[in-house]
Amino acid sequence: MIKKALTLFTIITFGISSYGQNSQKAKALLDEVYTNVTSYDNIFIDFNYTLENTEANIKQETKGNVTLKGDKYLANLFGATQLFDGSKVYTVVPDNEEVTIENPSEEENTVTPSKMLTFYKTGHNYEWDILQNVNGRKIQFVKLIPIETNTEIKSILLGIDDQTKHIYRLIETGKNGTKTTITVNSFKTNQPLSKSLFTFNEAKYKNDGYYIIRN
């Protein structure tokens, strides 16, 4: 989520390599996306989510959605609901009639739908990648390579709509061969939201017979 402002560009001096120029161009586009995204009061995203590992013969596909407002979010994925109210993370699993309450993780090694808009602002090297035409839309891809060597992520491709400067697709490739793809179906901004949308009602779930787990 939104934690810190984007770091400033390193000053590029005359005679730097074409790789450095491409890296600067990629970072400039990400800066533009970040400025655009943080100008909205709230964002609603409906997306497709695919996780695939060919060697392990694994392929999972589902749909999900997330509402973002500042640091807070409400996400629905894999039949579960996750709420972050700015302090605690609440994960509701109706099939198990369980609610888990915990502090937010400061070190997450994967890109979740709720982080896909702003995670890239630090900790990566950037490369300018391919331009694709997707149903008449120009999608410019930027490749991110984590600086930390102990991460499980090999690389991340971000596909950015050239006109709206919104993220259209995220493709995360793990070092174990697992590929996670998030494709945005709908991107809505400044929607009317209930004042209680990011408020967890513990009493309601207790009355419904849910087991409350505190970590």
Residue range 10-31, pLDDT digits in tens = 111 122 233 356 788 988 888 8
Query: How confident is residue 204, by pLDDT bands cut at 50, 70 and 90?
Result: very high
- Report pLDDT for 120: 66
Rounded-to-integer distance, Cα 54 and Cα 58, Å: 6
H or E element, residue 140: strand 137-146
Model confidence band, residue 8 (pLDDT cutoffs 50, 70, 90): very low
What per-residue confidence (pLDDT) applies to 7? 18
Average pLDDT over residues 179-207: 94
> What mean pLDDT is predicted for residues 138-159?
89
**CA distances in angstroms from 4 to 64, 118, 121, listed in the order given:** 26, 10, 9
Q: What is the pTM of this model?
A: 0.79
User: Average pLDDT of 66-92?
Assistant: 89
Give the rounded percent of residues in the chain with a pLDDT score beyond 90. 40
> What is the average pLDDT score of the chain?
81
Stretch 33-60: mean pLDDT, rounded? Answer: 88
In this structure, are strands 98-102 and 124-134 parallel, antiparallel, or unpaired?
A: unpaired
179 pLDDT tier (thresholds 50, 70, 90)? very high
Buried b (16+ CB within 10 A) or exposed e, 34-63: bebbeeeebbbbebebebeeeeeeeeeeee
